[in-house]
A and B are shown apart, each in its own frame.
Chain A
Amino acid sequence: MSVNRSGKREGTIKRRDLLKALSVVPAALIPFGTAVAAEQQTSGSAAAAQAATAYQRKVFNGHEWETIKVLSDLIIPADERSSGASQAGVPAFIDDWLNFKGGKLKAEILGGLTWLDLECNREFGHDFAGCTLSLQKKMLDRIAYPDKAAPSDLNYVAFFSDLRDLVASGFFSSETGVKDLPYLGNRPANEWPGCPANVLAAIETNLKKHGVGLSIAPPGEPAKG
C-alpha cells in the first residue's frame, strides 16, 4: 500500500495486476506441491544470458577463468536434471564473490589455483586445465576427501572444500539451480495450505528409518503445542 502526501492510497496494487506482472498463474490453478513448469515463472533468463556474456572479470585472469570453468563442471557436472555449473554462471559468481569479499578467501582460491597448476605440471607435465580428464580427477581425488587426504595436502584440502562450497552455492542459487532443487517459493498464493500430505508421509518414513522415536500428526489434524 503506498501513501502519497495527502493520504490517498494511490497506486494500490490490485492483486490481479500484481499476479499478472509476475506472470504467475493464480494460486487457484496451481496444485500445491507440484513442480510447476519452469516456463511459467517470471524468467530473468534472457537478461541473465546477456549479462553472462557481458560479464567483466574482476579477479581472475583469462587462464584462471578457464581453470575455474573446468573445476566448476567437475564439481557440478550436467545431468538429466540440469546443466553443469559453468553454464549456470558459476565462474562469474565466484569471480564477483572473491572481489566482493576479498581477504583470506580470495587469497586461498587464487593460491589454490596456482598450486593446482604447479602440482599438475610437476606430476603430469601440464597445467590442470590442459590435463586429461582422468589426470584431473586423479589430482582432485587427493584433495576432495578431508578424511583420506595426506597430511601434506591439508592446506589444499581446505582450498578445495571452500571451492566446492562456492561452486555449490553459486550453482544452486543461480536461476538454473533454483529450478534444479527445485525451490518452489516466491509464488504469490491466496492460501497457505500447510505441510503437503506426501511430504508429511515422507518425514514419517524418515523418522522411523532413523529410529527417532517421534511421530508427526497426519494432515487435517492440527498439531497441538
Chain B
Amino acid sequence: MANPKTNSNVYDAIIVGSGAGGGMAAYVLTQAGANCLMLEAGGWFDTGTQSKWGAWNYDAPHRGTAPPDTLFNAYMGAVGGWQVSGEPYTNAPGTDFKWFRSRMLGGRTNSWGRISLRFGPYDFKPYSRDGKGFDWPISYDDLAPYYDRTEELIGVFGSIEHIENLPDGKFLPPPKPRCYELVVQKACEKLGIPCVPSRKAILTRSHNNRSHCHYVAQCGRSCPMGSNFSSPTVLLPPALATKRLEIRTNAMAREVLVGPDGLAAGVSYLDKKTRKEVQVRGKVVVLAASACETARLLLNSRSSQHPDGLGNSNGIVGRFLTDTVGTHVNGFFPVLADLPAHNCDGVGGMHLYMPWWNYGKQLRHELPFSRGYHIEFGGDRRMPAAGTFKGTEHFLEGGYGADFKSSARKLYGASVGFSCRGEMIPNEHSYCEIDKNVVDEWGIPVLKFHWKWSDDEILMAKHSQETFREIIETAGGEVTESAGPEENWGISRGGEIIHEVGAARMGSDRNTSVLNPYCQAWDCKNLFVTDGAPLVSNADKNVTLTIMALAWRTSEHIADQVKKHNI
C-alpha cells in the first residue's frame, strides 16, 4: 500500500473547496476529461438524509433559535458559523469583521438565500463610469454566455423586465406574490420604486431530474428534494458520474506545493481524522476555498520562488476585500393586522424585490453616494419562533389576559422588515493578511482582518433607511426598528452579509492584480481561482451566480490551455 504522503498519483487538477466555485470547476473539468481530486475541509453532507426540512421549531431546543455564533435558525443547513471551533481568525484594533464559514460538503451553497442576479454592464466598468474603484478586465458581454449556461443548468426563476443594468436571464416562471408583498409593491409603485419578481435558484418547474419546489420556505435548511441549488445537489452528481472525480472530506488544505520550476505541483493538506499531513500531486491547482480562505492559502504558500506567498509578488493578495452594504428597518402595518388566516410560506425568501432605480440621479450627481443597492423584504407570518411576538406592548399599550391573547393573535403577520444590499467600493483599508502570532488547531497561520466603510457606503445606508421609512409610511405603517447617524445608519459589519469577495482580484495589469482576465495567477500559470476571490467589485447583486459563471469560463480556459499544451 502506497504511503499516502508519497502517493505517485498525479491528478489532472486538484480543486480546493466543494462549494459554488469548486463544484463548478469539477463539473466543467470532469466533462472535459480531467481526472480531478476535490478537497473539502468539512465533512460529507447528504441533504436527502441530513436536512431538517419539515421539522417544527417547537421540536427543537429553544424553539429553533440559533446557538450563539451561528445564523438564523438551529435547523439551518450550515455546519459552522461566525466562529468555527479550533479555527479562529483575528481582527485588527477598530475592526469587527465577521467571517462565516460552513464546513461541509457544498459549503455555504447548502444554506444560502439562492438570490441569483446577474451583474450588469455598469458593474464590470464602475471606474470608467464614475472614477471610483476599479474596472474589471472583462465586460458583461464576456460573461453573458456563461450566465446563460449557468442559469440553464441550475434553474433560476425570474421575469423579463428590461431594467437598466439588470440583465434578464434564462428564467423559470416566478412564484406569485404573497399578500403582504402586494401591499409593499403598491406603496413602491406610488413612490416610483420598481418592485418586480425576484430571481432565485429555486425550481418552480421540475428541471433536469430535480423536483419542483413544494413551497415550505425552508431553503436555508437545504432541500432533500433538490428543488433549490446547492453544489452537492446540482454540480457534484454529474461530476462524480463521469468517474473522474474523487472527493476527500475532512481535508484541511494548508498550502499549495510548488516545484523547482516555481509552478504549482500539488497541495498539502491536514487529514482532520489522523491530524497528519497528506501531499497530493496535480498538474493544475484550482483554489475555490472561498475568497478569504483562498487568500490565506496563497499567503501561506511560501517558497524560495514565491517568498511572499504564491501569486503575491506585488503584495495584492488579501487586498481590496469587499462585502455587501446592509442595513435594516422593521415596520408595523395596521392594514396587515387581523387578516383571515392564510399560508405565507412560498419559496424561501422574497417573491418580489426592488432593484436599484437611481442611476439617472447618480449620473446627474444628485445623490451623495455613487453606487446602488437593491431592497429585500420579508413579513413575519412565518413558522412561529422564540422571537415571534416580541414587543407586543408597543402596539397594544400593555395588558394581559383574554383581551391580550385575542389582540396578540391579530398582530401575527403585521410586521414587515426591509434590508438593503448595496455595492461597496473596494478601498485600501479593507483587507486580510496573515496574523503572525496565531495558528489554528491544524497548525495553519490564521487571517487577520482590517475593515473600513467609506462615506459612500455610509451615505448609502442613510438613503436606504430613509427610503424604507417612506415605503412603510406610504403603506400606512409605522417604523418600529431603525437606525440613525449615531450607529452609521445601522450599516452592517464587514463580512456580516456573507458576500465577502476580492482578496485575489483579477485584472489586466500584473502589477495591480493577482490573476489575469482568466483568473489565472500571473506568477504561476497552472494556478487558478474559481471562488469569490477574483471579483474586482461587489455589485448590488448577490455574488454566487457571478462566481459560478466566472468559474465556468475559467474552467473552460483551463481545459483549453491544457489541450494546447500551454500549461
Residues of A within 8 A of B (CB): 1-13, 15, 18, 22, 32-33, 35, 42, 44, 47-48, 74-77, 79, 93, 96-97, 100, 140, 144-148, 161, 164-165, 168-175, 177-178, 180-196, 198-200, 202-203, 206-207, 210-217, 222-223, 225
Contact = CB atoms under 8 A, between A and B. Distances in A.
Contacts of A214: 183, 186-187, 190, 474-476
Given A7-B237, A18-B225, A172 B384 contact: yes
Given A172-B388, A175-B58, A192 B215 contact: yes
B48 A206 contact: no
B86 interface: no
Contact of A3 (B161, B190, B232): B232
Chain B CB count within 10 A is highest, among A1, A169, A188, for A1
A13 to B, nearest CB: 5
13 contacts: A1-B225, A1-B233, A2-B46, A3-B232, A13-B225, A75-B400, A79-B405, A148-B398, A164-B398, A170-B63, A187-B216, A199-B339, A210-B476
A172 B412 contact: yes
A16 B238 CA distance: 25
Contact of B342 (A74, A196, A215): A196
Contact of B408 (A12, A35, A172, A215): A172
A191 B203 CA distance: 11
Contacts of B73: none
A169 B388 contact: yes
A185 B402 contact: no
B315 interface: no
A185 B335 contact: no
Contacts of A178: 56, 58, 383-384
A225 B161 contact: yes
Contacts of A42: 54
Contacts of A217: 182
B385 A207 contact: no
Given A1-B225, A202-B339, A173 B385 contact: yes
Interface stretch (B117-125, B277-285, B344-352): B344-352
Interface in B170-190: 175-179, 182-183, 185-190
Contact of B335 (A9, A11, A180, A210): A210
B343 A174 contact: no
Contact of B179 (A76, A93, A174, A203): A203
Contacts of B177: 194-195, 223
A7 B241 contact: yes
Interface stretch (B265-273, B389-397, B431-439, B559-567): B389-397
B331 to A, nearest CB: 13
Nearest to A10: B48
A223 B232 CA distance: 36
Contacts of A13: 48, 224-225
A199 B56 contact: no
A100 B62 CA distance: 8
B175 A192 contact: yes
A202 B342 CA distance: 12
B472 to A, nearest CB: 11
Given A165-B391, A192-B175, A195-B178, A147 B398 contact: yes
A-B pairs, top 10 by smallest CB distance, nearest first, are: A2-B48, A7-B240, A194-B176, A1-B226, A7-B241, A185-B345, A188-B214, A212-B476, A168-B389, A225-B196
Contacts of B46: 2-4, 11
B409 interface: yes
Contacts of B384: 169, 172-173, 177-178, 181, 183
B56 A186 contact: yes
A32 B225 contact: no
B225 A207 contact: no
A181 B341 contact: yes
A9 B209 contact: yes
A210 to B, nearest CB: 5
A5 B232 CA distance: 11
Contact of A172 (B176, B216, B389): B389
